[in-house]
Amino acid sequence: MGIKQAAKLAAAKPKEINGTDDLLALEAKYCSWGDTVHYSEKPNVFKSADGIYLYDREGTQYLDLQMWYSACNFGYKNKRLNRALKKQIDILPQLACQYIHEEKVQLATKICHRSETTFEEKGRVHFNVGGSQSNEDSLKLVRNCSGRNLVFAFMGGYHGRTLAVSAITSSFRYRERFGHFGDRALFVPFPYCFRCPYDKKRDFCDLYCLKQFERLFETEYYGVVNKKNNKCEFAAFYIESIQGTGGYIVPPQDYFSGLKEILDRYNILLVDDEIQMGFYRTGKFWGIEHFNVTPDIIVFGKALTNGLNSIAGIWAKEKLISPDVFPPGSTHSTFSSNPLGTAAGLEVMKLIEESNFADLIPRKGRYFLSRLKKLQKKYPQMGDVDALGLALRIEMCQKDGYTPNRELADTIANIGLDGKLSVGGKRRGLILDIGGYYKNCFTIAPSFYITEKEIDLAVELFEEALSKALKKTS
Ligand SMILES: Cc1ncc(COP(=O)(O)O)c(C=O)c1O
């Protein structure tokens, strides 16, 4: 190496990191922000995690009510799941996915058994590395069996941000800078009853929104169906059983069964994206189990591995995915069924089988919701408070309890992240995730192991942040 080059290298050598500010300066210089979401002005830097808490470099404790966007349902640093991963590291840490390993087969079997008992349907499981990629695989499956590439999806729906799934995710903002999306879904209004897209009231609407969808098939001039042969241009309908990023919106009980009836008439597949709601977030293994419907394809991810060595995947009915119709190589990723991920996933499934989440989660969800409803009486700005299991929503509004108030939601979230709340005489923070059509909803997804005492603490921290935010914003 020449002297000049050596001098250049020495000058470029990163300086020692002495504190959070040094780290943030390096992050600002060297990390792309394109792969993340920079919400707060000064991002938090975390050093450790345990149970429902995160800790920053100064040791401040943050109660986490979003758990990595619902990927860590079973708590941070879950001992049992971590042990399974460590064990796998010492046995078979790596393996090309063209070869078979036991954990993959067992994991797929367990997920299929679930569908066999719940839906009385035989099927197969197909793995990939993340939710978006698995949704992409499901799109291939849909195209493969139908020969069509257009799909319906919901307004407010979120299915990921890779190129193909950006086309079925409703926000134009995620597509805006990336050219023309020829396969853009036809977005249909979701039954969001608090803000009914048709200005109806749930008690009297008789599912008017569903009837409007059905009307699309009345004549060929509405652009979706050929009335001469009953063929539809759309191959599938992508749903989330409970809208996640859209703001944890729970649809009316009989909406999806009505929707499925319409879809079946025109041979349209129902693809249920359970990436955020699956694995008991709502109190059932799949969120869709609340609605008496059998999907044709289920897409899952996130909590399958509790955030350890991510894997995600799809379950599909046998007739769609058997090797005769969907042969080897139809999709492939080097890391798709990596043994560390399948070992973590298998342990999650065993943990589920040995726990009583079907009782525990609705009970905890009811308690949490009742505490929030009490608080809502005091603060009309908590316009809508609702939940299914431990998927809870608080929609922040103006004093009228209806007009969306994004500024208030942002201010509360930032106060929580600032880590200067003082409930119980201790300095703490609160981690909240914001979603919703107007970016004014807290989508609350605590660890399944949160205790009543911790729920009380969470509500107290929320109230402290809310009352500080009201002073700041009014
Ligand atoms: C319902 C839903 N689908 C798909 C995705 C995308 O998954 P991933 O971020 O793992 O690509 C998400 C992520 O938040 C999601 O909530």
- 460 CB-contact burial (10 Å; exposed 0-12 / middle 13-18 / buried 19+): middle
Look up the CATH architecture of domain 92-354: 3-Layer(aba) Sandwich (3.40)
- Ligand 1 center to residue 300 CA distance, Å? 9
Q: Tell me whether domains 20-77+357-473 and 92-354 share a fold.
A: no
**pLDDT of 313-329, one tens digit each?**
999 999 999 999 999 99
Pairwise CA distance, residues 156 & 168, whole Å: 10
Cβ of 245 below 6 Å from ligand 1? yes
Pairwise CA distance, residues 178 & 173, whole Å: 10
Per-chain mean pLDDT for the chain? 96
How many CB atoms within 10 Å of residue 181? 15
User: Does the structure show a pLDDT above 80 at 66?
Assistant: yes
- Tell me the average pLDDT across 129-151: 98
Residue 240 Cα: closest atom of ligand 1: 1
Contact 112, 125 (CB under 8 A): yes
Residue 160 Cα: closest atom of ligand 1: 6
Cβ of 159 below 6 Å from ligand 1? yes
- Tell me the average pLDDT across 405-434: 96
Residue 442: what are its φ and ψ, rounded to 5°? Answer: -85, 125
- Ligand 1 center to residue 276 CA distance, Å? 7
- Ligand 1 center to residue 465 CA distance, Å? 28
Q: Which residue has the higher pLDDT, 5 or 354?
A: 354
SS3 421: strand
Residue 157 Cα: closest atom of ligand 1: 1
User: What residue owns the CA closest to ligand 1's atom 10?
Assistant: 131
User: What residue owns the CA closest to ligand 1's atom 3?
Assistant: 159
16: β partners: none
- Ligand 1 center to residue 16 CA distance, Å? 36
Nearest to 348 by CA among 309, 389, 318, 316: 309
**pLDDT of 28-65, one tens digit each?**
999 999 998 876 778 899 999 999 999 999 999 999 99
Cβ of 275 below 6 Å from ligand 1? yes
pLDDT recorded at residue 8: 77
Q: What angle do CA 135, 433, 31 make, to 5 degrees?
A: 75
**pLDDT of 240-299, one tens digit each?**
999 999 999 999 999 999 999 999 999 999 999 999 999 999 999 999 999 999 999 999
Residues 6+ apart with CB under 8 A from 391: 70, 242, 244, 248, 250, 277, 281, 282, 287, 365, 443, 444, 445
- 14 CB-contact burial (10 Å; exposed 0-12 / middle 13-18 / buried 19+): exposed
- Ligand 1 center to residue 375 CA distance, Å? 31
- Ligand 1 center to residue 19 CA distance, Å? 33
User: Which of 275, 277, 288 has the most ligand 1 atoms within 8 A of CB, as the residue to mutate?
Assistant: 275
The two structure tokens encoding residue 286 = 């799949």
Residues 6+ apart with CB under 8 A from 305: 81, 311, 341, 344, 345, 348
- Ligand 1 center to residue 35 CA distance, Å? 14
User: What residue owns the CA closest to ligand 1's atom 16?
Assistant: 276
CATH of 20-77+357-473, one of 1.25.40.80, 3.90.1150.10, 3.40.50.300, 1.10.20.60: 3.90.1150.10
The two structure tokens encoding residue 192 = 């969001």
Whats the size of the chain, residue-wise?
474
Contact 210, 259 (CB under 8 A): yes
Domain ranges of the chain: 20-77+357-473, 92-354
User: Which of 73, 127, 129, 158 has the most ligand 1 atoms within 8 A of CB, as the residue to mutate?
Assistant: 158
**Of 1-15, 87-101, 309-323, 406-420, minimum mean pLDDT range:** 1-15
The two structure tokens encoding residue 198 = 């048709």
Cβ of 69 below 6 Å from ligand 1? yes
The two structure tokens encoding residue 294 = 């059998």
Cβ of 160 below 6 Å from ligand 1? yes
Contact 344, 85 (CB under 8 A): yes
Put simply, whether the predicted model's pTM sits higher than 0.75 gets the answer: yes
Please compute, for residue 382, the number of CA atoms within 13 A of its CA located in the half-sphere on the CB side.
24
Residue 277 Cα: closest atom of ligand 1: 1
Residue 312 Cα: closest atom of ligand 1: 10
Residue 56: what are its φ and ψ, rounded to 5°? Answer: -90, -175
Distances (CA, A) of 32 to 25, 29, 43, 52, 218: 13, 8, 14, 29, 49
Contact 248, 391 (CB under 8 A): yes
Q: In one letter, which amino acid is 55?
A: Y
Residue bearing tokens 């197969």: 124
- Ligand 1 center to residue 281 CA distance, Å? 14
- Tell me the average pLDDT across 395-402: 98
- Ligand 1 center to residue 194 CA distance, Å? 24
Residues of the chain with pLDDT > 90, as a percent, come to: 93
User: What residue owns the CA closest to ligand 1's atom 13?
Assistant: 160
User: Does the structure show a pLDDT above 90 at 72?
Assistant: yes
